[in-house]
């Protein structure tokens, strides 16, 4: 799709844009679903300055703080979305295109909010929105996720992982001063990470992905989110540690841009047991 036009049901509101969209995607968030009374909706982003209304200017509904939804006052057709998080662009509804067949989505966003009866097998990437857990939540499910994800280490590392000493109550206490983030599917955690702000870095701990959800880029997504959080906290780098025996983890973190910055030994050991990795943000 390289430029195009669209209109509402009655034809009063219309628009035109130039050049290819910044992105094309399906959105599953609840607010977009309710706005369209549809199981999900489809958008494409166009930079401001490269689009214009060519018919009647639509009405605007502020559906939440910082969000403006454009619609036709005559027929009610949703036309576009603007949000402070995307201040440089407008998001047009793909189904409003004069020729919707030219729409070429590349991913699903806010997949963590998809409806259970929406079953798709289109091969597109599925992006979930990270959610920070509150101290008053039940940490049992995320603790179970971490324990399951770390179980393979039991026969490979020495000393044993600290995950065996982790409890749901301890995680709730940590959530009050640290950041525990999860990616969810149908309300259940499928990936998690604990972020601990330090004086000069953000420490990443207990990065876990459920077995059935591996290979979908969830670990990378959480690491990217950690980098975003580090920037927001004015911390210049991410740091983490992994065990010496877990070479596949060393390769995975290296592929994400981390570099080895040191080795250390647990108390009572005369050999390195952990490797430190760092990523500048």
What is the DSSP secondary-structure string of 228-255? HHHHHTT--EEEEEEETT-HHHHHHHHH
Segments of the chain assigned E as strands: 4-7, 14-17, 23-27, 41-47, 51-53, 59-64, 67-71, 78-83, 89-93, 107-109, 125-126, 131-132, 179-185, 188-197, 202-209, 237-243, 259-264, 274-280
Residue 85 has pLDDT above 90, yes or no: no
How high does pLDDT run on average in the chain? 95
Coil, strand or helix: which one is 20? Answer: coil
- Give pLDDT tens digits for 153-209: 999 999 999 999 999 999 999 999 999 999 999 889 999 999 999 999 999 999 999
> Would you state the pLDDT for residue 78?
96
Residue 71: band (very low, low, confident or very high) from pLDDT cuts 50, 70, 90: very high
Percent of the chain residues past pLDDT 90, beyond the cut: 94
Instruction: Name the CA dihedral angle for 229, 232, 234, 235, rounded to a multiple of 10 degrees.
Output: 0
Each residue's pLDDT tens digit, 243-256: 999 999 999 999 99
What is the separation, in whole angstroms, between the first and last Cα of the chain?
Answer: 34
For residue 200, the model assigns a pLDDT of: 96
Q: What is the SS3 assignment for 44?
A: strand
Reported as a pLDDT band with limits 50, 70 and 90, residue 41 is: very high
> CA-CA distance, 176 to 165, in Å (whole number)?
19
Q: Which CATH class is domain 4-126?
A: mainly beta
Place of tokens 């509904």: 61
pTM of the model: 0.81
What pLDDT is attached to residue 67?
A: 93
Q: CATH 2.170.150.70 in the chain: give the residue spans.
A: 4-126
Sequence ranges of the chain with CATH classification 3.40.630.30: 131-280
CATH number of this structure's domain 131-280:
3.40.630.30
User: Distance of alpha carbon 251 from its chain centroid, rounded?
Assistant: 23
Read off the pLDDT band of 64 (50, 70, 90): confident
pLDDT at 207: 97
pLDDT at 275 over 90: yes
């Amino acid at each position: 799709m390289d430029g195009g036009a669209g209109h509402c049901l009655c034809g009063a509101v219309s628009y035109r844009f130039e050049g290819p969209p910044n992105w094309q995607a399906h959105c599953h968030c609840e607010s977009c679903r309710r706005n369209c009374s549809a199981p999900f909706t489809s958008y494409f982003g166009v930079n401001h300055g490269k689009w214009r209304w060519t018919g009647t200017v639509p009405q605007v509904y502020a559906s939440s703080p910082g969000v403006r939804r454009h619609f036709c006052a005559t027929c009610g057709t949703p036309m576009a979305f603007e949000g402070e998080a995307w201040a440089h662009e407008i998001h047009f509804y793909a189904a409003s295109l004069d020729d919707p067949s030219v729409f070429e989505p590349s991913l699903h966003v806010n997949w963590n909010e998809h409806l259970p009866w929406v079953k798709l097998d289109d091969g597109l990437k599925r992006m979930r929105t990270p959610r920070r857990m509150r101290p008053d939540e039940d940490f049992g499910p995320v603790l179970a996720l971490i324990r399951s994800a770390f179980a393979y280490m039991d026969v490979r590392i020495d000393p044993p992982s600290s995950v065996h000493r982790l409890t749901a109550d301890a995680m709730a206490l940590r959530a009050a001063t640290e950041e525990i983030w999860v990616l969810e599917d149908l309300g259940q955690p499928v990936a998690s990470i604990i972020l601990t702000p330090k004086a000069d870095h953000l420490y990443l701990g207990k990065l876990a992905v459920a077995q059935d959800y591996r290979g979908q880029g969830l670990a990378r997504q959480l690491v990217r989110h950690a980098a975003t959080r580090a920037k927001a906290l004015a911390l210049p780098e991410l740091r983490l540690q992994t065990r010496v025996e877990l070479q596949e983890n060393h390769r995975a973190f290296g592929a994400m841009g981390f570099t080895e910055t040191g080795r250390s030994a647990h108390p009572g050991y005369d050999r390195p047991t952990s490797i430190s990795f760092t990523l500048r943000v």
